[in-house]
A and B are shown apart, each in its own frame.
Chain A
Amino acid sequence: MAMQFYASPEQIMRDRSELARKGIARGRSAVVLSYSGGVLFVAENLSSALHKVSEIYDRIGFAAVGRYNEFENLRRAGVRMADLNGLSYDRRDVTGRALANAFAQTLGAIFTEQSKPFEVEICVAEVGATADDDELYRLTYDGSVNDEPGRMAMGGQAEAITGVLKSQHRADMSLAEAARVAVQALSTVGGEGGAARTIAANQLEVAVLDRHRVGRTFRRITGAALTALLDGDVSAAEQSAEAGGPDTPAQPTTESHKPTTSAASADLEDKPADGK
C-alpha cells in the first residue's frame, strides 16, 4: 500500500502564503491615495497597454499588483458584476463595498481550494462626496479585506512606501501635491544602496477618480499632461485634470487596410474597371 504524505493544513496555508507573498514582492508597486479632488492611483508600470489601474464603474476604480493574468481576470469579473448590477438595479446601487466583498470571496476560495493561490494584491477604491467619504479597500491573496484610511501602498516593499505616505499624505492635498507624494514614496525603494531613485513619467501609470464629475469619474493622465503634473506645473496639471470632454480611451484610428465593409469589395474599389 502506497504511503500517503501527510501535510498539516497549517503547513499548506503557510506554504501558499509564502508563494503568494514572494510573487507579489517581485513586482513593482502601486499607491492609491485620496486628495481634495478625488482619488489618485499611481502605479509603476513599464507598459502603456497592459494596465494595472482601471475603471470598474462610475465612481469605482481598481488597482492591482502581482501577476497580470490573475488580476486581469479579477478585473473583468468586477466589471461584469458591476455592469450587471447597475443594469438590474440602478447605477447608484453599484458600490465599492459589494465589489470588495465579491473579490474577497473569490480570492478566499481560490486560496483554500486551488493548489496555487493568486499572486495578487488589489485595491478597490470608491470616490465619495468628500475625502472623508472615500473608501479604499485592500484585498490580499488570501481573501482578507481591509478598509484603508485614505492611502495605501501595494507590492514589493509596500511597508517602506506606506511609511513615506503616512508621514507626507494629507486628505486636503491638491492633485499636483498628491502626485508628488505618491512618486516620492514609490521612489524611496529599489534604489541602489537604499538611495532614492528617479522614476520617469513613462514608467508610471497615473489615473484619478474625479470627485467633481457626474457619471463616469475615471480619467487616465498620460503623455504631456502627466509630465506637466510631475514637473509640478500646477496650472497645466490642473487643466489636464479638468480637461473637459468625455473619456477618451485609445481611439480606433483610420486604418484603410482594415476595411469595415467586405474585404472583397474594398479590394475592388479604386481599381480600373477593365480589371487591369
Chain B
Amino acid sequence: MFTNAGTSSFTTFLSRVAPEMLPGRRPLPPGMAADLAPHATTIVAISAAGGVVMAGDRRATMGNLIAQRDIEKVHPADAYSLVGIAGTAGIGIELMRLFQVELEHYEKIEGAMLSLDGKANRLASMIRGNLGAAMQGLAVVPLFAGFDLAGADPERAGRIFSFDVTGGPYEETGYDAIGSGSLFAKSALKKRFRAGLSVDDATRLAVEALYDAADDDTATGGPDLTRRIYPVVMTATAEGTRRLTDAETAAIAEGVVASRMENPGG
C-alpha cells in the first residue's frame, strides 16, 4: 500500500489506505452533538510589515463550564505558516495535526514547499470533508496565516485566510478573528488596526483584541495573572515561524492589563 506511485497528498493517501483516520469519514449517529465535547474559542490574526501575527486565548468551554484553562489553539502549520482552531476542540486538534503532516509530507515527497495559496486550498478541502459532522454540531473553523515566500513585496507578504464550515477559503485584508469572541476582537481591531504595523506592535494589538474579546465573551479567557497563563502568540516572517516565549507574552499581557487599570475600555 505504501509503494503505489500515487499521490503527493497525505490525506489522499489516507483516504485510500486508512480512511478511518480522516475526521470526516467516521459514521456519526443521527442527532445534534454540539454539547458533547469542549469548544475552543477566540483566535485573532493581524498582518504586519514583513509578516503576520496570530494569537489565541487559552480557554476551552463545555456549555457553561470551563473545560480547560491552558489549551493551545495556535500552532505552526509548517516553517512559514500558522494555523489556529476554533470549534470542537478534539476534531480541531486532529485536523490541525493532519494539516501539519499534509504540508510536511508534500514538501518531502516533492522536494518543494506548497505555495501559500496551495496550503490554504488544502486546508479548505480538509474542512469540507468534515461538513457532515459540522452539520451535527461538531464544526471546526480554522484561521490560517502565513508568510508568502512568492510575494513580490516582503512588506505585504503576511497573508490571512479564513474559512467557513463548507470550506472557503477567503483571503482577509489586514486582520481577522474567529471563534465566539471574534465579534468583539474584530470590533477592537477595526478601530486600532493600521496597515504597515510593525510585528511588535501587531503582537501587542493581538493581545489587546483578545482582552476585549474576553471582556465581553464568557467563553474567551483573558490573561490569567494568578496562574500565569497568557495567550499563545506566534509570528510568521521571512525568518520562519516563532512562538513568543512565556516571558515575552507575560510582559505584553501584563502591560495590557496595566493600561486597562487606567482605562478599562482600552
Which residues of A are at the interface with B, using a C-beta cutoff of 8 A? Answer: 49, 51, 54-56, 73-74, 76-81, 83-84, 86-88, 102, 106, 216, 244-255, 260
Contacts and interface: CB of A to CB of B under 8 A. Distances in A.
Contacts of B10: 80, 83
A106 B3 CA distance: 9
A247 B79 contact: yes
Interface in B22-81: 79-80
5 contacts: A54-B111, A76-B5, A83-B104, A87-B21, A87-B97
Contacts of B97: 87
Interface of B: 2-3, 5-6, 10, 13-14, 17-18, 21, 79-80, 97-98, 101, 104-105, 107-109, 111-115, 117-118, 149-152, 239-241
Contacts of A51: 111
B113 A87 contact: no
A246 B113 CA distance: 12
Contacts, number: 78
B108 A54 contact: yes
A55 B108 CA distance: 6
A249 B107 contact: yes
Given A54-B108, A249-B112, A83 B5 contact: no
Contacts of A54: 108, 111
A203 B10 CA distance: 32
Contacts of A106: 3
A99 B158 CA distance: 38
A252 B150 contact: yes
Contacts of A253: 150
B104 A84 contact: no
Nearest to B152: A254
Contacts of A80: 2, 10, 13, 105
A54 B151 CA distance: 27
A228 B105 CA distance: 31
Nearest to A62: B108
B3 A77 contact: yes
Given A80-B13, A102-B2, A245-B240, 20 more contacts: A49-B111, A54-B111, A55-B108, A56-B108, A83-B101, A84-B14, A87-B21, A87-B101, A246-B241, A249-B107, A249-B113, A250-B113, A252-B112, A252-B113, A252-B114, A254-B150, A254-B152, A260-B115, A260-B117, A260-B118
